[in-house]
Amino acid sequence: MGHALHRLPALAGRALSEPAPSRPADVRVGSATDGLTPISMAERQMGATWAGWASLAAVALSALFADQLTKAIVTSRLDLYDQAHVIGPFSIHHVSNSGIAFGLFSSATPIVILLTSLAVAWMLSFFARSGSRHPILPVALGLVIGGSVSNLADRIRLGHVTDFLDFRYWPAFNLADSFIVIGVGILLAALVLADRG
């Protein structure tokens, strides 16, 4: 017993001087060495898919066709500045507009053409990078692009666009203007809902 007690200080000194036996690090698969930081994760593809591009094109072409068709009907049935009363304050009023939506910037056609072209190019670039971010994007951007391209084509071809939807207390507009406003509204609503979520 005394001999064992005599050896305790020596054993304790040896235990302190020798390094503890190494154990394998506790590292989880898919994590950093601290076991907390992920080193890899599945990334969701945000770029537009072929289906997204097809949806965008279908909506944009439909908006462009509807706008061009209604303008053609109005110009063939009503002379410039003529109008046909429909109901209440609403009438079909054939007017021309060299500006943007609702008659704004009517004296700056070249600038409007340039800005519209840049806006359409930016929207296409944005959709290419983020088309899969939200399922509503093809519809919203399709409406905005279709309306913008339809009015842009008229400005380049004719120097003005045809407006005909007149509610008396608001500048006359056309379907393209409506599609642009609706598309922007859908985008804003989607952003608000996503933020709340």
Q: How far apart are CA 31 and CA 35, in angstroms?
A: 5
pLDDT of 94 strictly over 70: yes
- Read off the pLDDT of residues 98-123 as tens digits, 9 standing for 90 and up: 766 555 666 667 888 888 999 999 99
- Closest to 148 (Cα-Cα) out of 101, 107, 92: 101
Amino acid code (one letter) for 1: M
**Structural domain spans, the chain:** 50-196
67, 154, 163, 166: the active-site residue: 163
Phi, psi of 182 (to 5 degrees): -65, -45
Give the distance from CA 193 to its chain's centroid.
14
pLDDT score of 98: 76
pTM, two decimals, is 0.73
Cβ-contact 151, 82 below 8 angstroms? no
**Angstrom distances, CA of residue 190 to CA of 51, 141, 177, 183:** 20, 12, 20, 11
Annotate 112-163 with DSSP letters as a single string: HHHHHHHHHHHHHHHHHHHTTS-TTHHHHHHHHHHHHHHHHHHHHHHSSEEE
Give 69's contacts (C-beta < 8 A, 6+ positions apart). none
* Chain segment 187-196, per-residue pLDDT in tens: 999 888 876 7
- pLDDT at position 190: 85
Taking phi first (over 0 means left), then psi (-120 to 50 degrees means alpha), and beta for anything else, what does residue 75 get? Answer: alpha
Examine the residue annotation and report whether 163 is marked as an active-site residue of this protein.
Answer: yes
pLDDT in tens, 129-180: 988 888 999 999 999 999 999 999 999 999 889 999 999 988 899 999 999 9
Instruction: Point out the catalytic residue in the list 67, 154, 166, 177.
Output: 177
The average pLDDT across 56-74 equals: 98
67 in Cβ contact with 101 (< 8 Å): no
